[in-house]
Amino acid sequence: MKYLVIGGAGFLGSHLIESLSGDITVVDDLSTAKYFQGNAKLIREKIENFSTDEKYDYVIHLAARPSPEDYINHPVETALSNSVGTYKALEIARRSDAVFLYTSSSEIYGHAEVIPTPESYWGKVNPTGVRSCYDESKRFSEALIMSFYREYGLDVRIQRPFNVYGPRLREDGSYGRVISRFVYQALRGEDLTIFGDGNQTRAFLYVSDWVEATKRMLGPGLKGVILNVGSDKETKIIDLAKTIISMTGSKSGLKFLPPRQDDPPRRAADITKAKEVLGWEPKVSLFEGLKMTIEWFRGVLS
Ligand code: UDP
């Protein structure tokens, strides 16, 4: 089997590729990625600029800059990798007659009014806000993918991951997502930075559960499927911070900062459909996942 994995050197890609066997080509500009896995061939290029005559069985588009603080500083690149980039990837899949899998995002729901959020919810998104480079480009990608499905009959699958975390999630201040940032801060004895009052929620998914769902989504008979890949267990950010301080045995305190602009106040996945369609549900609890993540960070930071 021949795989083209776009953005395959990033956090999600590195875990997925480790668990795939076959002939794997990664296209990645390495702009945010640090963990390229040696069992694949790397082409260092942005998907927007990539062209090839090769044919693939699977085209998987993971390339994105999912950290709000990072994408807000690189809005054009963020918007292009999930618009022009998706178009380029779809054309490669169409020419190859490949299965096309896209990692969209729970961001497409914006400030969701239905929690946990099912796939049928249309979203409540600020089309011109600071997060729009990310959520609107993901929404456009979904629309383009469904257009290729309807017009050309391409075998497409769309997943919407919700706050996936685990080893290799970047920790640095200008980039880190909340779990890697808090673990990093706690292990270094720095105060954990909470945006707003910390009552906003997320539902976190450990990366091995994401890999399992993703591999199942590459299976037969799933043409045109759209699925949430996440957890339905909501956690308040302030509780997450306290849990990480206690699990690391850290002396860190909490530092409250102004809220992020357009930060969704609540987020959790309705995974009824993923359970039915894939026979999948998360196996790793937040506690177990945090334990493995903390252990990995201890190793990296020591
Ligand atoms: N967050 C926080 N402190 C941080 C980083 C994030 O309080 O240092 C909060 C952020 O405001 C958001 C949640 O944690 O409500 C998740 O943020 P993340 O950057 O992981 O991604 P998002 O889910 O917003 O895309």
- Probe ligand 1: pick from 195, 235, 261, max atoms within 8 Å of CB? 195
**Ligand 1: which residues within 6 Å by Cβ?**
67-68, 163, 177-178, 181, 193-195, 200, 202, 237, 260, 263
Residue 201 half-sphere exposure, CB side, CA atoms within 13 Å? 14
Structure tokens at 241: 């911070």
> How many angstroms does the Cα of residue 178 sit away from the middle of ligand 1?
5
- Probe ligand 1: pick from 178, 194, 257, max atoms within 8 Å of CB? 178
265-293 pLDDT per residue, tens:
999 999 999 999 999 999 999 999 999 99
169-208 pLDDT per residue, tens:
988 766 779 999 999 999 999 999 999 999 999 999 999 9
DSSP letters for 238-274: HHHHHHHHHHHT----EEEEPPPTT--S---B--HHH
Nearest ligand 1 atom to alpha carbon 195: 7
**Residue 8 near residue 2 (C-beta atoms within 8 A):** no
* Nearest CA, atom 10, ligand 1: 195
> How many angstroms does the Cα of residue 278 sit away from the middle of ligand 1?
29
Radius of gyration over alpha carbons of the chain, in Å?
18
Nearest ligand 1 atom to alpha carbon 176: 19
Nearest to 205 by CA among 121, 301, 103, 74: 103
* Nearest CA, atom 11, ligand 1: 195
DSSP run (H or E) holding 61: strand 58-61
Give the pLDDT confidence score for residue 302 in this predicted structure: 84
72-119 pLDDT per residue, tens:
999 999 999 999 999 999 999 999 999 999 999 999 999 999 999 999
* Nearest CA, atom 4, ligand 1: 178
* Nearest CA, atom 17, ligand 1: 178
- Note if 134 is an active site residue: yes
* Nearest CA, atom 13, ligand 1: 178
- Structural domains of the chain, with CATH: 1-167+204-231+263-283 (3.40.50.720)
Among residues 3, 71, 134, 149, which one is catalytic?
134
Give the pLDDT confidence score for residue 174 in this predicted structure: 66
Q: CA-CA distance, 13 to 6, in Å (whole number)?
A: 8
Amino acid identity of 237?
I
- Probe ligand 1: pick from 202, 242, 266, max atoms within 8 Å of CB? 202
Nearest to 146 by CA among 161, 156, 131: 156
Task: Give me the count of residues in the chain.
Answer: 302
Give the pLDDT confidence score for residue 69 in this predicted structure: 84
> How many angstroms does the Cα of residue 170 sit away from the middle of ligand 1?
13
Overall pTM > 0.90: yes
What confidence tier does 66 reach under pLDDT thresholds 50, 70, 90? confident
The set of residues, in sequence order, having a beta carbon less than 8 Å from that of 287 and lying 6+ positions away, is: 243, 247
